[in-house]
Structure 1
Amino acid sequence: MGKVVLVTGAARQLGGRFVRRIQRDPEVERVIAVDAVTPPHRLGSAEFIRTDIRQSAIARVLAEHAVDTVVHLAVTGGSSVAGGGSHSTVKETNVIGTMQLLGACQKSPTVRRLVVKSSTSVYGGTSRDPAVFTETTQPKSLPPAGFAKDAVEVEGYVRGFARRRPDVAVCVLRFANILGPFADSALAEYFSMPVMPTVLGYDPRLQFVHEDDVLDVLRLAAQEPRSGTLNSGTFNIAGDGVLLLSQCSRRLGRPTVPLLLPAVTWVGSALRAVGVTDFSPEQIRLLTHGRVVETTQMREVLGFEPMYTTTEAFADFARSRGTGLLPPERAARAVDRVAGLVNADLSNAELLNVEPAVEGAKR
């Protein structure tokens, strides 16, 4: 790993944990932690600099500290922004902040490695998309708004930077939904609701990555590559296997309320308005169509093997959330009963030669 590492987004939970983690690496001489707000957590021996990456001052930070490795963790959704913030502020930090940071890196003669935290949400999610996405898969429809759109724009700027500075090793990590005991994402908030609204007729496949694996792969990507590995390129990062949304509900002991898609959209707007959770249209698409990615490149090229499968990551998250309204056994019976009623309605419609109003679950 580089001797001087700069980490953006240090005031966020994940950024703070990563800052503390890399200080234990014997090859790291100094860690520079950067954010626009003061972190609510300890950063160990790291030097914290309060600066907004949307401003040109970030270039002075890189120059003054002779930074050679930049780990950009400030691209995130609104629910995980330390200190809150409007969606417009979050978008500016994601997109404008990344542009300023890349401009500073381009001018810096000392920067040799750049690691960017991205998301599998860049693939979007529609009924026309493939069952499994690879790093080269082009989405049928680009995300129209929200964090997913920000991530697409950020990756575009990063590719441009890589062309202009071919001497810098650039690694983009597309993470599946991050879960664990300390998860603070919009999806974690959704899974913490006492009753979970779902889209009637859909049971999406979901994929997770444990937050401890996130820290490990970030550290690996920021290191000098080992023999047989290449710590540059774009990689999907996810635990093995998938879980259906109904299986998640059972494991949490939280009942679901299947609603027609327009009703789910209305509920999402209401929840956002009262500040319960950031139930965005992007998340509704995920809970409708799901998203699964291929991780062969992660293992064979990057040389990373997650400690947690998707099921194990979710189980660790579920333990941290406590018991839901129903014991898992009762939740399972309730979900099965609702699913049976839906299937019966669909079967009756087919017998009457009537096209069902609800599309079947994407498998």
Structure 2
Amino acid sequence: MRVLITGAAGFIGRQLLDDLAQRHPDWTLVAADIRPLAQQGLKPNIESVSLDISQAREVDACVQRWKPEAIVHLASVVNPPRGMSDAHLHAIDVGGTRAVIDAALAHGVNQLIVTSSGAAYGYYPENAEWIDEQHPLRGHELFAYARHKREVELLLADARKRSPQLRQLVLRPGTILGERVNNQITDLFEKRSVLGIKGHDSRFVFIWDQDVVDIIRVGLERNSAGIYNLAGDGALSMAEIAGILGKPYRPLPAGLLRGALALLKPLGLTQYGPEQLDFLRYRPVLDNRRLKEEFGYRPRYSSREAFLAFLKARGIAAQA
């Protein structure tokens, strides 16, 4: 089989490449990314390709040249670099997905696997206690990542109606943890105290990075289709996280925190802005029942166990 992987130089992309190359040496893996992929250590069944996902003609030419049976679309911007415009960000996240769908349909691709996000459900006070895959996708107008993931899912839903012959496996991960992960969320846990918002539990669901890789691989092997939340069992509140870290938990009034972030971010004193207030207080807490019962995959770690494994990899002793 020939598989095209976009975002192949990314955190999950590189792990997926290594896993597939080892387990399926008879597959051809087309590793596409705008960033150069280090050639050292690449297995002989990996073809490294330069691809700007925001350029539809490039995407179409790539799919036409390699004629993959399956595409794994991982390319996305989680943490935009300073100075990246909203238009450029949208062109990568949403325009890139549109280009991948169009090219897949134009050139007879059989299966499309897309990593969406639990963020597509949005951050709202009326979110269900546990969100399943039937929950409406509302994104968030002030939070570009969530807004874009909703747009991506609308494109995918439209393609399923128009072209059901393209099998879609859509994955909605919660917060991904791993031995080497580092992002805005993990930065929250490295402060001297753990901040929260008064009156809100701010529960997190975690999924281990190798579980995400395994689920994508199994999806390819089985030619699977469907929509699945990716999360370990259970959830951890910010207060529980603080207890595990042995750090003070400081819940602040929402208005005070919003005002502080509005002042500090323009000065470059924090990476968080007031638009991320809802991100913290109205967390979408993902139900993983369908992943276990319908897809047939049980994550190796619960949310709590994933967090403990994350700390262990950093040499941090859990306190509770």
The 5 Å alignment of 1:298-317 reads 298-317=291-310
Residues 194, 238 of structure 2: 8 Å contact kept: no
Distance (Å, rounded) in 2 between the aligned partners of 1:188 and 1:87: 25
Residue 236 of structure 2, aligned match among 226, 236, 243: 243
TM-score normalised to structure 1 length: 0.79
Distance (Å, rounded) in 2 between the aligned partners of 1:48 and 1:85: 28
- Which residue does the alignment assign to 1:20? 18
- Which residue does the alignment assign to 1:180? 178
Tell which deviates more after alignment, 305-314 or 85-94.
85-94
SS at match of 1:23: helix
Tell which deviates more after alignment, 260-269 or 297-306.
260-269
Q: How many residues align?
A: 315
- Which residue does the alignment assign to 1:93? 92
- Which residue does the alignment assign to 1:65? 66
Residues 127, 284 of structure 2: 8 Å contact kept: no
Residues 157 and 296 from structure 1, CA distance in 2 versus in 1: closer, same or farther, beyond 3 angstroms? same
- Unaligned residue ranges in structure 2 (runs of 5+): none
Distance (Å, rounded) in 2 between the aligned partners of 1:87 and 1:305: 39
Residues 97 and 51 from structure 1, CA distance in 2 versus in 1: closer, same or farther, beyond 3 angstroms? same
Distance (Å, rounded) in 2 between the aligned partners of 1:59 and 1:202: 46
Shift of 1:277: 6.2
The 5 Å alignment of 1:205-244 reads 205-225=203-223, 231-244=224-237
- Which residue does the alignment assign to 1:157? 155
Shift of 1:69: 0.8
Residues 41 and 130 from structure 1, CA distance in 2 versus in 1: closer, same or farther, beyond 3 angstroms? farther
Distance (Å, rounded) in 2 between the aligned partners of 1:43 and 1:274: 42
Distance (Å, rounded) in 1 between the aligned partners of 2:267 and 2:23: 43
- Which residue does the alignment assign to 2:104? 105
Residues 53 and 188 from structure 1, CA distance in 2 versus in 1: closer, same or farther, beyond 3 angstroms? same
Shift of 1:216: 0.7
Q: 2:140 aligned with 1:143, yes or no? A: yes
Distance (Å, rounded) in 1 between the aligned partners of 2:260 and 2:316: 24
Q: 2:47 aligned with 1:47, yes or no? A: yes
Tell which deviates more after alignment, 303-312 or 267-276.
267-276
Distance (Å, rounded) in 2 between the aligned partners of 1:43 and 1:159: 38
The 5 Å alignment of 1:1-12 reads 3-12=1-10
Q: What per-residue deviation string (whole Å, max 9, x for no partner) do you get for residues 158-183 of structure 1?
A: 12222232212101001011112222
- Which residue does the alignment assign to 1:193? 191
Residues 84 and 142 from structure 1, CA distance in 2 versus in 1: closer, same or farther, beyond 3 angstroms? closer
SS at match of 2:76: coil
Residues 127 and 41 from structure 1, CA distance in 2 versus in 1: closer, same or farther, beyond 3 angstroms? farther
Distance (Å, rounded) in 2 between the aligned partners of 1:162 and 1:304: 24
Residues 259, 274 of structure 2: 8 Å contact kept: no
Distance (Å, rounded) in 2 between the aligned partners of 1:239 and 1:152: 22
Shift of 1:323: 4.2
Q: What per-residue deviation string (whole Å, max 9, x for no partner) do you get for residues 276-319 of structure 1?
A: 76425564323213322222211222111111111111111122
Shift of 1:208: 0.8
Distance (Å, rounded) in 2 between the aligned partners of 1:113 and 1:277: 41
- Which residue does the alignment assign to 1:287? 280
Shift of 1:15: 1.2
Tell which deviates more after alignment, 59-68 or 149-158.
59-68
SS at match of 1:37: coil
Structure number with bigger Rg: 1
SS at match of 2:22: coil
Residue 256 of structure 1, aligned match among 243, 249, 257: 249
Provide the aligned C-alpha RMSD in A. 2.5
Q: 2:312 aligned with 1:328, yes or no? A: no
Residues 208, 239 of structure 1: 8 Å contact kept: yes
Residues 5 and 84 from structure 1, CA distance in 2 versus in 1: closer, same or farther, beyond 3 angstroms? farther
Shift of 1:27: 6.7
Instruction: Look up the equivalent residue of 1:61 and give its one-letter code.
Output: C
Percent identity of equivalent pairs: 26
Residues 197, 264 of structure 1: 8 Å contact kept: no
Residues 30, 48 of structure 2: 8 Å contact kept: yes
Distance (Å, rounded) in 2 between the aligned partners of 1:31 and 1:113: 15
Shift of 1:212: 1.2
Residues 43 and 285 from structure 1, CA distance in 2 versus in 1: closer, same or farther, beyond 3 angstroms? farther
Residues 207, 230 of structure 2: 8 Å contact kept: yes
Shift of 1:65: 1.3
TM-score normalised to structure 2 length: 0.89
SS at match of 1:293: coil
Q: What per-residue deviation string (whole Å, max 9, x for no partner) do you get for residues 67-104 of structure 1?
A: 1110011134225xxx7762523332101111111111
Distance (Å, rounded) in 2 between the aligned partners of 1:13 and 1:84: 20
Residues 178, 185 of structure 1: 8 Å contact kept: no
SS at match of 2:222: coil
Instruction: Look up the equivalent residue of 1:105 and give its one-letter code.
Output: A
Distance (Å, rounded) in 2 between the aligned partners of 1:91 and 1:152: 12
